[in-house]
A and B are shown apart, each in its own frame.
Chain A
Amino acid sequence: MTLRPARTATLIPALFILLAIVSLMIDLVPFARHGTAWQALFAPDETRFDQIFYHFSTLPRTVMAFMCGAGLAVAGAAIQTIFRNPLASPVTLGVGAGVELTLTVFLVLAPASLAGWQDLFTLAGGMGALGIVYLIASGRSNASLWLILAGMIVNLLLHSATQIFILFNQQFLDSVFMWGAGDLAQNGWDSTLHLAPRLVIAILAVLALVRPLDILALGDDTANSLGAPVKWLRLGILAIAVFITASIISTVGMIGFIGLAVPATLRFVGYTRSRPLLIMSFLVGGCGLMIIDYVMRQFAATGGDIFPTGAATALIGAPFVILILRKARIMPDGNANRQDHPVEYKIASRHILLSGLLVFLVTGLVTSLLLSLDGSGHLVLTSLDDLFAFTSTIGNRTQRSLAAIVCGAALAVSGTLIQRVGHNPMASPEITGVSSATALTMIVAMVYFGFEGRSDLMLIGALGGIIALFVLLALCRNFNHAPHYLLLNGLALTAILGSVVRIALTHSGTKASMLISWLAGTTYFTRLDEIITVAIITAILSALVLLARRPLELASMGADQAVSLGLGISAFRIAMMAGAAILAAVSTLLVGPLSFVGLMAPHLARIAGFRLAGTHLLGAILIGANVMMVAEWLARNMLYPQQLPTGLIAALIGTAYFLVLSARRS
């Protein structure tokens, strides 16, 4: 009771409310001049389009923005309190991706008669996704980190599934894509009035539950000893929060980060008790989204093109997360440096294991080149009848398999370096945002600056990746590369880049479909000279890293030990990280930023018992190459003659692996 927010803290909500009111006023000025403001607000003159437009588009859109912002922020505040985790939010916990997948499937497959059931389907999708995340994280020692990680993994898995679905329904891509970017545009009051009662009831329900929330905020043990039915309270509040989120994003699309950034910021400036936190989240979230949406509407009006509000929200909200992470140690477990060391399974001697992997790679490669599936699911041996056809078929397959294998190896090395130097078994180029940064710089160079040459793009992408990695390291410097901060900063970075990519894609016009298939990781357009370039870069860098395996070993022991052993750790670290970024960038050009191999291969190698830096690297390289080889074969044959993007298949394999792994350990 004694903890009152500081005076500056009350300024933040006041500022938001003021700005929101100003934006409302500006919209009404043109009508007020003619004395028709009242008319435009409540009873538009049906012969005047400006009044119709204001009454049936601008106004419901503004109300919608307020409702969605408020709802998402309240849901976020509740979820953060329940999990005692300032980085939990409905969207980071997989609800968004669950809704996205079910909505996409529904839009493409459902007949008109089922239109009214859309909400039920999407709600089930969101709940299901959160359920998986919750199951993975619950019962772990550091559940708050796992919650975020599981959320990321489930997000990626469901997102990959959505992408595959869209690839085969390209014509509906526009609908789904605009939804994914979170477009708040309204054509009437229907959606707003449809959403309003649910949100009002659900938000009131959350507000009525402040006392239980306060008790839950004390932690499970304390709450239990106070006699609270912790499990049921938590489930109940969680269900309401998911209901709010799923209702909102199935109506207006993906609006990221409001639910994360608003309550986290408010808590940081001093609103720690549930009641003021919820009320302020309601106000600031609502006004905040209103303001962002107002700005986006002005862009749309001038450029004639669409700037989706949801993507912009992520763009603005994600830096807040980075800021908060820098300002406060808010990991409730406190144990920021405790590592989540993978359990090791000693399967066989490492030499036998390495040779086994190599043999599998070689035989697998030969088999995958010769065997393919025909359209009806039968295995076919490539016929030797027509020699020219045979050689050229095998040549084509070799090229694509090589691309996949080389990228698998490059990502494995990159991931091993990031995991070892960053002291973090869950880091990888994909998770730390290096891959997204690479993809982003390439897309921007292509869409806005007209670069076409793939070698130019590779160079530009590598630069972007390196910059992103160093920004990330600079941000985490104070925490000595503490695992959680690296991951969470990476998450924020990935979200920022993801939203810029979405915005760039809405502007890319005719290139969009090509860019989307590249982002999904197709090996279709790779050329042999590119593969050779990437292979040479990978080989050189891997050899250098292998030569430096001793200092790498020291560096992965932690800065204190390494410095006491007299190792100039910083320069070495920077060199290793630069190498990791280059490898991530070159492989991103060939298979896109999505594959999960950079995370999975080093992790799996560690589990298989490759503990020393040198063998860890070799093991990871072989595992990465094997995984990508299998993914490439599946991508080419699973739906013959359609071809899936290899990166997406690898991501599916990788995320499934992590889900199985986490399920077994919990």
Chain B
Amino acid sequence: MRRLLSLAVSALCCIAGFTHPALAQGKTYQHEMGSVSFDTPPTRIAVTNWSLTETVIALGLDPVAIADPDGYYKWVVTPDLPKDFVDIGQRQSPNMEALRKAKPDLILISGQLSMAYDAFSEIAPTMVISTYNNGLPALESLRKATLQIADITGREDRAREILQQVDKTLATDGARIRAALGADQKIAVIRINSDAQINIFGPPSLPNTVLAAMNIPTAYDGQTNGWGFARGGLERLAPFANDVVAYIEPTPAPVRQRILNSPLWKMQGFARQNRVYQVPPVWTYGGLYSAMRFADLLATEIENGPHQ
């Protein structure tokens, strides 16, 4: 239907002889909503969420179009974005016109944007790669996605390097944390949500799969949503009185103040025994670099001692 419309408009312009980009005969790659083919590996890649952004950058490619770059520096922080790229607006509705101006030869989206898959495909070959909400443990899902994107872009060597780097980093950081806390100390990772609500990360989440890979026992193993967390009041932390609680930034300053100063927080075991750690911003829905960033920052914070 959309193509019909484009054709109609072009007919209006009375110009003939325009051709669709020829469907190449090269290698075919499967993704969640079909398949795409490339003669030569794509190099101009557009990314519509931060997890894909950091994954593509990690593979040594500079994305040509990135969604919400300002938010990226606040929530994901590293790795640095390339010098030149097109800002395509919000992650939940990337701007098609800006995207087209970036002239990508591959667009990566997650399942959340699958409703606009046809519109994306009209601009450039589009692949749906969901790193979350796919029923897989986050770390496994990210390894898979990284290898998949590396396969398409011909960066398999770099991907293997990254996977090795992840294993090495997690092993080192795991050892650092165990050295500081002891081998059996469980850790609960949370985000502060509002004056009375927190998100606690569970088994499939990025923080907990990273902790598990570091051989560190995790505190919360109950039900979660597709992003891997459960939501509730501070009473949800009651079972973790003897565990370490690490909360991940950023939080609106007044909200953080009120939560940390509330009796219900201060009277719980983890606070009374001084086992609360503040972790600087990590994108807990990010890629493998975010996984390593989380491990590094958590280890550093734990070595530096509890948050006062």
Residues of chain A touching chain B, judged by Cβ–Cβ distance below 8 Å, are: 46, 49, 52-53, 56-57, 107-108, 110-112, 114-115, 118, 167-168, 170-172, 174-175, 178-179, 183, 185-191, 300, 304-306, 372, 375, 387-399, 509-510, 513-514, 517, 522, 524-525, 527-529, 532, 640-643
Contacts and interface: CB of A to CB of B under 8 A. Distances in A.
A185 B193 contact: no
Nearest to B10: A391
Contact of A396 (B10, B93, B119): B119
A398 B9 contact: yes
B267 interface: yes
A643 B93 contact: yes
Contacts of A513: 92, 112
Contacts of A178: 193-194, 196-197
Nearest to A186: B196
Contacts of A188: 262-264
| Chain A interface mostly | helix
Interface in B226-280: 226-227, 230-235, 238, 241, 250, 252-259, 261-265, 267-268, 272
Contacts of A305: 231-232
B230 A112 contact: no
B115 A525 contact: yes
A642 B95 contact: yes
Given A398-B5, A528-B5, A641-B86, 6 more contacts: A183-B194, A187-B233, A399-B5, A513-B112, A527-B118, A641-B97
Contacts of B253: 110-112, 115
B238 A372 contact: no
Interface residues of B, number: 71
Contacts of A183: 194, 196-197
Contacts of A372: 97
A115 B257 contact: yes
B148 to A, nearest CB: 21
Given A57-B235, A399-B2, A387 B93 contact: no
Contacts of B223: 304
A405 to B, nearest CB: 15
B180 interface: no
B15 interface: yes
A304 B232 contact: yes
B93 to A, nearest CB: 4
A529 B1 contact: yes
A528 B1 contact: yes
Given A112-B253, A175-B193, A305-B231, A524 B93 contact: yes
A171 B194 CA distance: 11
Contacts of B98: 640-641
A640 B13 CA distance: 27
A175 B118 contact: no
Contacts of B92: 170, 513-514, 517
Nearest to B99: A641
27 contacts: A53-B235, A56-B264, A56-B267, A114-B254, A115-B253, A170-B90, A170-B91, A174-B194, A175-B195, A178-B197, A179-B194, A185-B233, A187-B233, A187-B259, A189-B263, A190-B258, A304-B223, A387-B15, A390-B13, A391-B13, A392-B6, A510-B112, A510-B227, A514-B92, A525-B115, A525-B116, A640-B89
B7 to A, nearest CB: 8
Contacts of B40: none
A395 to B, nearest CB: 4
A393 B97 contact: yes
B100 to A, nearest CB: 6
Interface string B3-29: 011110110010100101100000000
B197 A52 contact: no
Contacts of A517: 92-93
A187 B194 contact: no
Nearest to A114: B254
B85 to A, nearest CB: 12
A167 B92 CA distance: 10
B140 interface: no
B135 interface: no
Contacts of A118: 254
Contact of A185 (B21, B115, B197, B250): B197
B116 to A, nearest CB: 6
A61 to B, nearest CB: 9
Contacts of A398: 5, 9
Contacts of A49: 238, 241, 268
B78 interface: no
A641 B46 CA distance: 15
Nearest to A185: B196
Interface in B46-103: 71, 75, 86-93, 95-98, 100
Contacts of A168: 90
Contacts of A391: 6-7, 9-10, 13, 18
Given A306-B197, A640-B95, A643-B95, A187 B2 contact: no
B122 interface: yes
A179 B252 CA distance: 14
Contacts of A396: 2, 96-97, 119
B264 A57 contact: yes
B169 interface: no
Given A513-B92, A642-B95, A643-B93, A187 B252 contact: no
Contacts of B95: 640-643
B30 interface: no
Candidate in A179, A191, A641 with the most chain B CB atoms within 10 angstroms? A641
A110 B254 contact: yes
B206 to A, nearest CB: 15
B2 A387 contact: no
A43 to B, nearest CB: 13
Contacts of B123: 392
A186 B123 CA distance: 50
Contacts of A107: 252, 254-255
Contacts of A186: 196, 264
Nearest to A506: B231
A171 B93 contact: no
A503 to B, nearest CB: 14
A510 B285 CA distance: 12
Contacts of B6: 391-392, 395
Contacts of A108: 252
B225 interface: yes
Contacts of A394: 9
A71 B173 CA distance: 54
Nearest to A369: B9
A393 B267 contact: no
B133 interface: yes
User: Which 8 pairs of residues, A with B, have the shortest CB-CB distance?
Assistant: A112-B253, A187-B262, A185-B196, A188-B263, A641-B89, A115-B254, A187-B264, A641-B95
A170 B75 CA distance: 12
B71 to A, nearest CB: 7
Contact of B88 (A170, A300, A387, A641): A641
A643 B133 CA distance: 25
A250 B265 CA distance: 22
Interface in B113-133: 115-116, 118-119, 122-123, 133
A55 to B, nearest CB: 8
Contacts of B262: 56, 187-188, 190
A304 B252 contact: no
Nearest to A167: B90
Contacts of A172: 252
B267 A52 contact: yes
A483 to B, nearest CB: 39
Contacts of B90: 167-168, 170, 642-643
A114 B257 CA distance: 12
A139 B58 CA distance: 66
A113 to B, nearest CB: 8
B89 A642 contact: yes
A643 B98 CA distance: 11
B169 to A, nearest CB: 26
Nearest to A508: B225
A174 B225 contact: no
